[in-house]
A and B are shown apart, each in its own frame.
Chain A
Amino acid sequence: MSFFATFGLWMAVFFTLSIFSFLYKDNPFYKFAEQVFVGLSAAYWLVYLFYSIMLPNLFNKLLSDFSGNLILLVPAALGLMMLIRLIPKAQWVSRYPIAILIGTSAGINMVRYAKSDLLSQISATMINPFSASNLSGIIGNFLLIIGTVCGVYFFYFSKKQDGFSTVPSKLGIWFLMVSFGASFGYTVMARISLLIGRLEFLLKDWLHIIK
């Protein structure tokens, strides 16, 4: 292995252990790793954004065919208006691009969520519970329908929850709790996998204890 590859390996090991040391308590190694991480990653995204977004989507297009891409001057101008924030007196200028972006986001979110999270979930719940082939499937389908309806009702804000109306709301909370427990349990494996990945690096690539 070349010097730089070995050096790189030890650097990776150092950072790995520094981050793990945070589990015991905050310490200079973690502080160092944290600041290096923040610095490196900030620059990483800047470089990434420059090469992968700004160059192909803006600069290259303007340089190769300026008159054909005149429209791109609009986002470029808005981007520069964001940068005017650096001048304290003219900070209000950045409200224009922010307003346009937020307006756009609001519009996009409105239509996207109406489609993917509202309509498709509603239609997915319109099922014939008796279509399942066995008893557990039928019970499951009923749970699915009742759980969805009660869960939605749990979020009903503008009514005092008393009398009969507490029943579906209560059921809704129960379903939420079951779901939270289940998702928690389900995620354990994925999280342990991450740790296995890091340990594999330490034990295999660094210490050569395992093959």
Chain B
Amino acid sequence: MSGGLLINWRIAKSVQSGFGDPLLLYKGVNMRKLATIIFFLWGINALLCASHLFTVSDVPWDDGKALQIEWKVPADTIYLQKADSLGAWTTIYAGSQSSYRDTDLNPDLVYNYRLLVPRPAFQDSMAFMAKAKPREQWFYLHKLSYLLILLAVSLAVLYYVHGARRGKDYFIRRISGLDSMDEAIGRATEKGKPILFVPGISDLDDIQTIASLTILSHLAQKAAEYDTALIVPCRFSMVLSASREVVKEAYLKAGKPDSYREDRIFYLTDDQFGYVAGIDGIMVREQPAANFFLGSFYAESLILAETGFSTGAIQTSGTAQASQLPFFVVSCDYTLIGEELFAASAYLSRDPQQLGSLKGHDFGKLLVIVFIILGVIMEIAGWHGFKAFFEGAAQ
């Protein structure tokens, strides 16, 4: 993979000239021959040294887009050059470090590099050459810790789900934000006012949106049972489609397919603040008695929650967006904090399989706590390998 060749014309020339006249004979020794031999030996030596001094090698366990270039030359400043497709050299690094990683390369192509080491005393520079080919491998080794932890959590989830299937019962602690859901629906029914459900501002590619739709399914069923109108404005068409499916199914389950009104689940606009402007309008005009903001929210969280507050609605919110939680906590009646949003479907459905998978998350939490404590102890003890193993994946 790596190769090196020292070409130093100045040195080569000085060697030649040092041996004087090419045809000089001294005590029967053909000096020219000697010079050639010495020069040859020096060349091999230089070659060996050079391969040691300047190396280019494929970065192992990667996607074949990087080469590691290293050099061991005593110089304050070196220039590293790379040949482009036409063979012209361009400097890619200048400085005093002793290695460089060239990235964004194409796998299986050969790349040529040249290292220039200036020699101010001679007013020239030495040049080293090397080339290599980046290759794709079949596993990212630095992701090992990451694979293992993912496997551990997944296996735990599967194990507990399996346990649940065999009839094991799992406990789940109270989540007040979810207990209050019936109360909120009840109040809306009493007042004869609708319920507003906002499934967040992310598309279906966010798991929070899907978690939100799961809660919507339970909520819609309750709303159907109580004959309370349910309004669901959506920011994305795909969320709209999925929401309609979910709500329709819920009304069907509640035995009231005729009460389902598709026009109550509608699209507003793909725009973040346009969407919020629309919801604000709905809140002040329809005066829903209960608002649910569940899913992924960004800056608009407070606009929604404060407008909702001013209309006197009972408000339940939930998001895993840590930066928005303060605003929900401050201006809503109930807030599902972070993971509680994902626990909701298990909590509401009491489906043993879902409860089992929740137990799996909890196993993950214990694992995390143990790892953190172990990691801290190892760091205090000065044994950094443990942390480095986890850090590998964070690259």
Contacts and interface: CB of A to CB of B under 8 A. Distances in A.
Nearest to B375: A126
Nearest to B175: A157
Given A176-B337, A180-B326, A110 B150 contact: yes
Interface of B: 143, 145-146, 149-150, 153, 170-173, 175, 204-207, 210, 237-238, 241-242, 245, 268-271, 273-275, 277-278, 280-281, 284-285, 323, 325-327, 329-330, 337-340, 343, 358-359, 361-362, 365-366, 368-369, 371-373, 375-376, 378-380, 386-387, 390-391, 393-394
B369 A149 contact: yes
B369 A152 contact: yes
Interface in A83-121: 85, 91, 94-95, 98, 101-102, 104-106, 108-111, 114-116, 118-120
A45 B146 CA distance: 37
B204 A105 contact: yes
A153 to B, nearest CB: 7
A38 B378 contact: no
Interface in A142-186: 145, 148-149, 152-153, 155-161, 176, 179-181, 183-184
A157 B376 contact: no
B330 A180 contact: yes
Contacts of A126: 371-372, 375-376, 378-379, 386-387, 390
A98 B368 contact: no
Across the A-B interface, the 10 shortest Cβ-Cβ residue pairs: A126-B375, A41-B271, A41-B274, A45-B270, A120-B394, A123-B390, A180-B326, A42-B269, A128-B379, A105-B205
Interface in A11-40: 19, 22, 25-26, 30-31, 33-34, 37-40
A155 B271 CA distance: 33
A38 B274 contact: yes
Contacts of A158: 170-173, 358-359, 362
A40 B270 CA distance: 11
Contacts of B274: 37-38, 40-42
A130 interface: yes
Nearest to B338: A155
Residue of B206, B280, B326, B338 with most partner-chain A CB within 10 A: B326
A123 B376 contact: no
A82 interface: yes
Contacts of B280: 22, 34
A152 B365 contact: yes
Nearest to B248: A91
A157 B205 contact: no
29 contacts: A26-B285, A31-B281, A38-B269, A38-B277, A41-B273, A41-B274, A95-B245, A101-B238, A116-B394, A118-B368, A119-B393, A125-B372, A125-B376, A128-B380, A129-B380, A149-B372, A153-B369, A155-B338, A156-B173, A157-B343, A157-B361, A158-B172, A158-B362, A159-B171, A159-B362, A176-B337, A181-B326, A183-B325, A183-B326
A172 B247 CA distance: 36
Given A122-B372, A160-B171, A42 B149 contact: no
A202 to B, nearest CB: 18
A10 interface: no
A20 B237 CA distance: 29
Given A102-B204, A126-B372, A111 B150 contact: yes
Contacts of B358: 157-158
Residue of A34, A82, A109, A187 with most partner-chain B CB within 10 A: A34
Nearest to A46: B270
A94 B243 CA distance: 13
A157 B338 CA distance: 13
Residue of A30, A44, A123 with most partner-chain B CB within 10 A: A123
Contacts of B269: 37-39, 41-42, 45
Nearest to B356: A158
A146 to B, nearest CB: 10
A95 B245 CA distance: 9
A199 interface: no
Given A38-B269, A119-B394, A152-B365, 10 more contacts: A34-B280, A41-B269, A101-B205, A122-B390, A126-B386, A145-B372, A152-B368, A156-B366, A159-B173, A183-B323
A60 B170 CA distance: 55
B151 to A, nearest CB: 10
Nearest to B362: A158
A130 B326 contact: no
A127 interface: yes
A130 B379 CA distance: 10
Nearest to B337: A176
Contacts of B275: 38
A104 to B, nearest CB: 8
Contact of A114 (B149, B242, B387): B149
Given A106-B207, A109-B206, A126-B387, A34 B365 contact: no
A66 to B, nearest CB: 25
